[in-house]
Homo-oligomer: A and B are copies of this chain.
Amino acid sequence: MLDINTDAFFMREAIKQAKKAFDENEVPVGAIMVCNNHIIAKAYNQVEVLSDATAHAEMISITSASEYLGAKFLNDCTLYVTLEPCMMCAGAIKWSRISKLVIAAADEKEGFITKYKANHLLNTKTEIIFGIEEKEATQLLKDFFQKLRNNNQRNWN
């Protein structure tokens, strides 16, 4: 059983969001914004349903948290995200001054650090942690792309 208020606990909440994306045929990425040990925003990737290429889980959770706090800066907040942010989302994390970023799985194709080596984009004080609940987040992504391939195969038969 997981203790509450740990990085693993909050990441499991982000994975629940990613599973919602999976069920709605979106690339399964989820995000949670935590402020003083309270979850103030939950979001999942909604690019397809909103027909909006910017509707990544991180972007929605930042806008939602800012709305909740009535503040553009999220200095005391931690963002938990199941897949490493892309450059767009890393830029948003920088602008909103999030103090801590916890990532489950690295993204070799689009990750702002793993692909673009852009650690320097964020404030040097921003704490970044990789690998929390990585296995489950990665498995969910693998299952999603396998499902896509199976569906495409069926469409060709």
Residues of A within 8 A of B (CB): 47-48, 50-55, 59, 62-63, 66-67, 69-73, 86-92, 94-97, 116, 118, 121
Q: How far is the CA of A68 from the CA of B94 in the complex (A)?
A: 29
Q: List, in ascending order, chain B residues with CB within 8 A of A92's CB.
A: 53-54, 88
Q: List, in ascending order, chain B residues with CB within 8 A of A90's CB.
A: 87-88, 91
Q: How far is the CA of A69 from the CA of B52 in the complex (A)?
A: 10
Known: A51-B70, A54-B59, A87-B87; 17 extra A-B contacts, CB below 8 A, are A51-B66, A51-B71, A53-B62, A54-B63, A54-B92, A54-B95, A54-B96, A55-B63, A86-B91, A86-B95, A87-B90, A87-B91, A88-B92, A88-B95, A89-B91, A116-B121, A118-B118
Contact of A73 among B53, B94, B116 (CB under 8 A): B53
Could you jot down 30 A-B contacts, CB within 8 Å? A50-B72, A51-B66, A51-B69, A51-B71, A52-B62, A52-B63, A53-B62, A53-B66, A53-B72, A53-B95, A53-B97, A54-B62, A54-B66, A54-B92, A54-B95, A54-B96, A55-B63, A86-B91, A87-B87, A87-B90, A87-B94, A88-B89, A88-B90, A88-B91, A88-B94, A88-B95, A89-B91, A90-B91, A91-B91, A116-B118
Q: List, in ascending order, chain B residues with CB within 8 A of A121's CB.
A: 87, 116
Q: List, in ascending order, chain B residues with CB within 8 A of A59's CB.
A: 54
